[in-house]
Amino acid sequence: MVSLYARLAWTWTRAAAAYPASFALMTVLGIITTTLDVAVILIVFANTTTLAGFSRDEVLFLYGAAGVSFALCDLLVSNIDRVSQHIKAGTFDTFLIRPVSSWLQLTTDRFNPNRLGRVLQAVLVLGYAVAVLDLEGRRLWMIPVMVVTGFVIFAALWTLVGAAQFLLTDAPELGNAFTYGGQQLTQYPLAVYARDLVKGVTYVLPMAFVNWQPGLYVLGRDDPFGTPEFMRFLGPAAALALVLAAGLAWRQGIRHYRSTGS
Amino acid sequence: MFGVLRAYILIALWQARPGLAGYDIADAITYCFVTQAFIAPMQLFGGGLAIPERIRSGDIALDLVRPAPLQAWSFAEDVGRASYLFLVRGIPPMLVGAAVFGVVVPGDPGRWAAFMAGFALAVVVSFGWRYLIALSVCWLIDDRGVAVLSMVLTTFFSGMMLPLHIFPGWLADVARSLPWAAMVQLPTDLYLGKAAVMETLAFQAFWATVLLVLGALATRAIRHKVVIQGG
Amino acid sequence: MIELDRAGRSFKVRRSLVHAVRDLSFTIAPGEFVGYLGPNGAGKSTTIKMLCGILTPTSGTVRVAGLEPSRRRTTLARRIGVVFGQRTTLWWDLPLADSFELIRHLYKVDRNTFRTRLDELTTTLDLGSFIRTPVRQLSLGQRMRGDLAAALLHAPDVLVLDEPTIGLDVVSKAGIRDFLKRLNAERGTTVLLTTHDLGDIERLCRRVMLIDHGQLAFDGTLGDLMATAPDQSDIEEVVSRLYTGSGTA
């Protein structure tokens, strides 16, 4: 499956490489757009030393970790949110006549390598934060785990939103509240949000496990909302549960697909 | 949804720094939802005009020979859309903000009048800017770059992401004198009663005029180009 | 090879149930070449989409190559080739050759077999002159030949064609028809073809099925079809009479 993914992605990359100037421009602009969010964090901390009890470098750490997860998902999976576009254009049928899972075909469809720039930007921010924060060595193993967990959670979330488009063909932008909303939510320590909202994104939609819970472990801090220590390690389980839900939703979506035309 | 998340960040900041930029927490929350309400009517993420599509398809030649000038006609269309979007996409975020956090509602009719005038001028400035961006397609092969750049400049320098008053030092001064400030920061300050009314309106009118004049010049240039190249 | 037993598919349209296909039963044996006729909206495309597993039947059963399409869609895909005349299954922005290469990977065709088949198809469908051209720049006739090649690279046992000659000029049509005829005769590929062009039927199909209002209105040889209206010699007339006949029934 991975090799097939790479093969499909490579074909689109080659197609994109036919227009090198446009490719370079879009890569740079992608980096600039995401850097705006960093600029906002820096401006906020030009006015204060702590935000909800977190320092600038701690916030950059949380931002960077979620940023890498999100940018990887944006690069590798986010094309799944074009379901309704394909249904409306009548091109969705094509994915269903191939001997490969429709999910794999959709995520690679028009694979866009210039989003790699955003991954790079987030890696730099994360790298900076890890370098300047005085982190305990025995906690560092969690960083790769949280980045992968975060990626899987975002990917599952994206798939759920894609699956929902089989029903909500005319309102695909409703899903943005969850996908891009999830991105925005995870850019800051959850300590800034209200308790009920944080409960929701911990126990219902497990966005808290993208960077918040495991991040608290890496930073060696207690949860201001007082959740117990073992919650820091539940990320992979939460991701797995969300993946199962997304897989089921996707299958149901395909079964309820009603094609178009006569 | 996005407005709510943004509001929490502003609340956290104002809890750490009460009275920052002359706003109290209620003002900061109100700022967040008023600016959220501006997104759709002013098309702050870009677009909204049909011109780039018409240039690519070549239909622009037809638009240029109509009796109504292209700029005036696009403007009328944009104002119509802005009024509609103000009602359907502007009011709901305010109601959400009022329901979740409570927002400041001015009781003084004078302040409402100042805000409505400021908002109207902001729509003109927003149109003037987007019109220039739309016409630039005529001189470019790949217009996505300009579109993204415009979005970055607009969202950042208008005060859409954070109030311009809290930008550090010289950056705040620069940002406050650019046309984007006239789109979001200034009308919001009028709403909150934090700006001198006449000066603010004059500043907005200045940028509206500059952008519209530039737009008229650009229209002349594009007509020249289309006529010379035979459409 | 293809078996439908009281298969039906209904859609909910504004709270009322519309039956696109109702109680449809037929069997197609390996190696047959069958024409599938019907007026617009009769249920032809719905049938075809059920055969490929794109649509799940709401009643009855469908079997293609011994498999239930909607449950075993990806397995079946290796044994069935599909061409939609109205829209391409190729990648719009990629050159034809890249599309074929992608298909090779999707269907896991090994390199040598692929090369042999592609060479053969390039010759018989005369693809050589435009194989490096992006699909969006191809003429309709070229695109259709490309689509046919794409549907056959994995050497399917069944080929399903939904209006393959729609919008083509006389020469392109003749070329496609010759190709299909040889494919069926030489390789024994089972072919099911929907069309509005009765010339396709006359030149290609030994058996004709006619669907109207989601139900089978006629199933027999071309000769049987003509015999339903002994006073007529023109196939267009015969078919239009059948359409209106079942339409008023």
Q: Residue C203 is inside which H or E element, if any? A: helix C198-204
Percentage of chain B modeled with pLDDT above 90:
71
CB B31 within 8 A of CB B23: yes
Cβ-proximal residues to B201 (8 Å cutoff; 6+ apart), any chain: B114, B117, B118, B121
Which of C11, C89, C102 lies closest to A258 in CB terms?
Answer: C11
ipTM attached to this prediction: 0.91
Who among C44, C89, C98 is closest to A97 (CB)? C89
Q: Which range (A54-63, B47-56, B173-182) has the least confidence?
A: B47-56
**Residue C40 in this model has a pLDDT that exceeds 50:** yes
Are A208 and A201 in contact, with CB atoms under 8 Å apart? Answer: yes
CB contact under 8 A, A43 and B151: no
At the top level of CATH, the class of C1-79+195-249 is: alpha beta
**Closest A-chain CA to B7:** A193
A interface test, pick of C37, C48, C101, C106 with most A CB neighbours within 10 Å: C106
* Residue C89 confidence (pLDDT) above 90: no
In the 3-class helix/strand/coil scheme, how is chain A assigned residue by residue?
CHHHHHHHHHHHHHHHHCCHHHHHHHHHHHHHHHHHHHHHHHHHHHHCCEECCEEHHHHHHHHHHHHHHHHHHHHHCHHHHHHHHHHHHCCHHHHHCCCCCHHHHHHHCCCCHHHHHHHHHHHHHHHHHHHHCCCCHHHCCHHHHHHHHHHHHHHHHHHHHHHHCCCCCCCHHHHHHHHHHHHHHCCCCHHHCCHHHHHHHHHHCCHHHCCHHHHHHHHCCCCCCCCCHHHHHCHHHHHHHHHHHHHHHHHHHHHCCCCCCC
Q: Using a CB–CB cutoff of 8 Å, tell me whether A20 touches chain B.
A: no
Q: How many CB atoms are located within 10 Å of the residue B54 CB?
A: 19
Q: Which residues pair with C161 in a beta bridge?
A: C83, C193
Q: Which of B6, B152, B168 comes nearest A43 by C-beta?
A: B168
What's the gap in Å between the CA of A202 and the closest CA on chain B? 16
How does residue C249 score in pLDDT terms, banded at 50, 70 and 90?
very low
Q: Which residue among B142, B155, B167 places its CB closest to the CB of A43? A: B167
Dig out the tokens for B222 from the structure.
Answer: 């594009």
Do A262 and C45 make contact, defined as CB atoms within 8 angstroms? yes
| Shortest distance, CA B142 to any CA of chain A (angstroms) | 7
* Tokens, residue C160: 């399903």
Chain B residues lying within 8 Å of A193, measured CB to CB = 5, 8
The answer, yes or no, to whether residue B132 has pLDDT greater than 90, is yes
A99–C77 CB contact, under 8 Å:
yes
Residues of C in contact with A100 (CB under 8 A): 74, 106
**pLDDT tens digit string along A69-91?**
999 999 999 999 999 989 888 88
The token pair at A57 is: 């470098």
Tell me: the pLDDT tens digits for A134-154?
999 999 999 999 999 999 999
Hunting for tokens 């397609």 — which residue is that? B137
Which of B26-51 are b and which e, b meaning 16 or more Cβ less than 10 Å from the residue's Cβ?
ebbbbbbbbbbbbbbbbbbebebbeb
- Residue C245: predicted pLDDT: 62
Most confident of A187-196, C167-176, C195-204: A187-196
Residue A260: predicted pLDDT: 64
Q: What pLDDT, on the 0 to 100 scale, is given for residue A262?
A: 36
User: How many whole angstroms separate alpha carbon C11 and alpha carbon C18?
Assistant: 5
Confidence at residue A146, expressed as pLDDT on a 0 to 100 scale? 97
The residue-averaged pLDDT of B20-28 equals: 94
Highest mean pLDDT among B185-189, C51-55, C239-243: B185-189
Residues A160 and A178: their CA atoms lie apart, in Å, by 10
Proportion of chain C above pLDDT 70, given as a percent: 98
Q: Which residues of B touch A (CB under 8 A)?
A: 1-2, 5-6, 8-9, 11-13, 15-17, 20, 142, 144-145, 148-149, 151-152, 155-156, 161-162, 166-168
With beta carbons less than 8 A apart as the criterion, state whether C24 and C37 touch. Answer: no
Residue A261, pLDDT score = 47
- Most trustworthy range by pLDDT among A161-175, B93-107, B202-216, C189-203: B202-216
Cross-chain residue pair C74–A94, CB shorter than 8 Å = no
Rounded CA gap, A256 and A254, in Å?
5
Candidate from B2, B13, B20 with C-beta closest to A181: B2
pLDDT at position C93? 80
User: What is the tens place of the pLDDT at every residue in C133-190?
Assistant: 888 889 888 999 999 999 999 999 999 999 888 888 888 888 889 989 999 999 999 9
Contacts of A43 in chain B (CB under 8 A): 162, 166-168
Higher pLDDT, A189 or C247: A189
- Could you state, in order of their start, the residue ranges of all structural domains in chain C? 1-79+195-249
Nearest neighbour of A98 by CB, restricted to C42, C77, C98: C77
Per-residue pLDDT for C247 more than 70? no
pLDDT at A68: 97
